[in-house]
Amino acid sequence: MLTHISIRDFAIIKDVSLDFQQGLHILTGETGAGKSIVIEAVSMALGSRADTTFVRSGADKAIIELTAEISDPAVLSLLSENDLGDESTLYILREIHASGKSICRINGTLVSVSFLNNLCKRIADIHGQYDHQSLLNPDSHIHLLDGYYRTSIEPIRNEVASLYSEYIRIKSELDAIFRAQAENLRNRDFMEFEQREISQANLKIGEDDSLSEQLLLLQNSEKLYSTLSEVYELLYDQPPSSQDSIGRSMQLLNGIKNFSKDYAGLAEIVSDCFYKLDDLRTDLRKAKESITFSPETINDIMERIDLLDRLKKKYGGSIESVLLHKEEIEEKLAQIENSSLLQDTLTEELALCKEQLDLATEKLTAIRMEAATHMEQDMARELEELNFKDTSLTVSITPLQDESGKRYTESGSDHIEFLIITNKGELPKPLSKIASGGEISRIMLAFKSIIGGFDRIPTLIFDEIDSGISGATASIVGRKMKQISSDHQVICITHLAQIAAFSDHHYRIYKEESEGKTSTHVTYLDKEEKTLEIARMLGGLHVTETTLKNAEELITQSSI
């Protein structure tokens, strides 16, 4: 609920502060005193569009500060999700500059006007000529009807919401398969071509390095053969050969090795050289004999290397990346093959879920039809008590449709709108089409009487609610507002003493002139001051003993 508002340099208000509590708050004052300006300031704080014409003449900016206590978990969650604090006390600051600039802050943080407006729709509802009229928004009617008949509707609505969530999940998966399948089918031929191209190449990791080495050998085979042949001749064939010389040296050293360890060591080294050279003979002969001069082999290797280079350039730069690309293609091709089976499974699941959702939404519609009948009866009673002789409410329930037929939402498949007839012979019209602000406010009052605490909006503000009524009807309206104030904080501007008499908290709004400027002021009335104010409302400028007694009697009757 609202707890405090401070208004500075707004229209003809220089500086006004009001404290609010639980219960019924009444604001009264003479015509032109600025009562509606106070409500306009509240409306601005709650997110209505800024209007620079409201900046007080001579001031740079108008400042409105509003404080509220929040208990609705949805509002607290919205604040927390947007890093606006998680305390139950809400502080709103609205600045409107004469230059056209507008600033909104929630708990010290800058926010957009649209966010402020969306948040405050859950905090206060202003009825009359202003924008915060949740009951005039057809989108909210379904929630109001469901709240009115909550005990019966809530279980089946929860079932519908659960089935709808599952329906959307399956449909999303199926749509994703269709999209992927269409894309994959377009690319399948190309993927199959790439898969065949890589498979037919029969790649082996490291093959490119091995082939390059072979090619280098083949391209230099003549030089290699000549070199190996000359080495072999020098070591073994040309007299005296290296092997013969080392063999003779080994015999000579073996003859003196017993004379000294040093000679024995030399003999051993030469002996090792001889035998290693003997082993080398076989390796050199094999190496020489392995040299080939086949142009066909060179050609084949070069063609193979060209193929590998082409594939590597096309698929990632290495044989490993080419093989990895092949695995990815094969996986996608397998998915295409498997998607048909998954598609069939999901299609069956979707059909079953849709069948269950159809049954649940039909059941929900039937219960809403029953709820609508009871709401129409209750509203007929309330409207009659509020002196609407020829007014009746109709709850219109029509199926939601789209291009494919029945449309589902988490709230079911119903479009619900409250229609009303205010005169005999007229067709039902949407609430938003009713011209009279007073009629709208009293119809809202009737709604609030039967809906009680279902809408969870803690503060109701009424302006022009007494338009076109008087006498007994005014007393009924006052009593209705008093009843509603047991569930809501109610703030009401009125010209009628019969309504003002029911107040728990009474404020008088008046104008004063100072230094050539007119300013609006607000004062809280105690019990005696309230009686005098109601006497003034009954008797005009001259308060007499008779009007005082009438005022006291009116206040006494309102408390019965």
Question: What is the SS3 string spanning 234-256?
Answer: HHHHCCCCHHHHHHHHHHHHHHH
Owner of token pair 């609920």: 1
Cβ of 246: how many Cβ atoms within 10 Å?
A: 18
> Up-side HSE of residue 199: CA atoms within 13 Å toward CB?
10
Assess if residue 100 is contained within a domain.
yes
Residue 499: its pLDDT value, please?
92
DSSP state of 412: B
Residue 387 · residue 473 · CB < 8 Å: yes
CATH number at residue 59: 3.40.50.300
Closest CA to 419 of 431, 405, 404: 431
Cβ of 93: how many Cβ atoms within 10 Å?
A: 17
User: In this structure, which amino acid lies at residue 202?
Assistant: N
Assess if residue 95 is contained within a domain.
yes
Cα separation of the two ends of the chain? 26
Assess if residue 56 is contained within a domain.
yes
CB within 8 Å of 377: residues ≥ 6 apart: none
Residue 129: its pLDDT value, please?
47
What CA–CA distance (Å, rounded) separates 84 from 95? 18
Cβ of 71: how many Cβ atoms within 10 Å?
A: 10
Residue 61: its pLDDT value, please?
93
Helix H or strand E segment including 5: strand 2-10
Strands 89-97 and 61-69 turn out to be: antiparallel
CA angle 353, 359, 363 (to 5 degrees): 140
What CA–CA distance (Å, rounded) separates 306 from 508? 98
Assess if residue 200 is contained within a domain.
no
> Up-side HSE of residue 4: CA atoms within 13 Å toward CB?
9
User: In this structure, which amino acid lies at residue 34?
Assistant: G
Residue 3 · residue 68 · CB < 8 Å: yes
Residue 437: its pLDDT value, please?
58
Residue 170 · residue 350 · CB < 8 Å: yes
DSSP state of 217: H
Tally of domains within the chain = 1
Domain range for 481 is: 1-123+457-560
Distances (CA, A) of 51 to 38, 56, 62, 127, 333: 15, 11, 10, 20, 63
CA angle 414, 419, 423 (to 5 degrees): 160
Write out the two tokens for 272: 């090792």
Residue 350: its pLDDT value, please?
94
| CA 336 to mean position of chain CA atoms | 33
Helix H or strand E segment including 15: strand 13-19
Assess if residue 486 is contained within a domain.
yes
What CA–CA distance (Å, rounded) separates 353 from 348? 9
Residue 131: its pLDDT value, please?
39
Residue 124 · residue 118 · CB < 8 Å: no
Assess if residue 137 is contained within a domain.
no
> Residue 107 in 3-state DSSP?
coil
Which residues partner with 90 through β-bridges?
68
Helix and strand numbers (H, E) in the chain are: 16, 17
On the question of a cis peptide bond just before residue 240, with omega within 30 degrees of 0, the verdict is: yes
E-state strands within 424-531: 429-430, 459-462, 489-493, 505-514, 517-525
Owner of token pair 């044989």: 319
Write out the two tokens for 357: 């959702």
Residue 397: its pLDDT value, please?
95
Residue 521 · residue 510 · CB < 8 Å: yes
> Residue 91 in 3-state DSSP?
strand
Assess if residue 469 is contained within a domain.
yes
| CA 460 to mean position of chain CA atoms | 29
Q: In whole angstroms, how large is the CA radius of gyration of the chain?
A: 48
Helix H or strand E segment including 126: strand 124-127
Residue 290: its pLDDT value, please?
73
What CA–CA distance (Å, rounded) separates 450 from 452? 6
Assess if residue 30 is contained within a domain.
yes
Tens place of pLDDT per residue across the chain (560 aa) = 999 999 999 998 989 999 999 999 999 988 777 888 888 899 899 988 888 888 998 899 999 999 999 988 888 888 988 888 888 899 999 999 998 888 999 999 999 998 998 888 888 888 754 434 567 778 888 988 998 898 899 999 999 999 999 999 999 988 888 877 777 777 777 888 888 888 888 888 888 778 777 777 777 777 777 787 777 777 777 777 777 788 888 888 888 888 888 888 888 888 888 888 888 888 888 877 777 766 777 777 788 888 888 888 888 888 888 888 888 888 878 777 777 778 888 999 999 999 999 999 999 999 999 999 999 999 988 888 887 878 888 999 999 998 878 899 999 999 999 998 877 778 888 877 764 556 777 777 888 788 766 667 889 888 867 777 777 788 888 988 898 888 889 999 998 999 999 999 999 998 888 777 888 899 999 999 999 999 998 887 678 888 889 888 998 888 76
CA angle 220, 224, 226 (to 5 degrees): 120
Closest CA to 168 of 397, 354, 440: 354
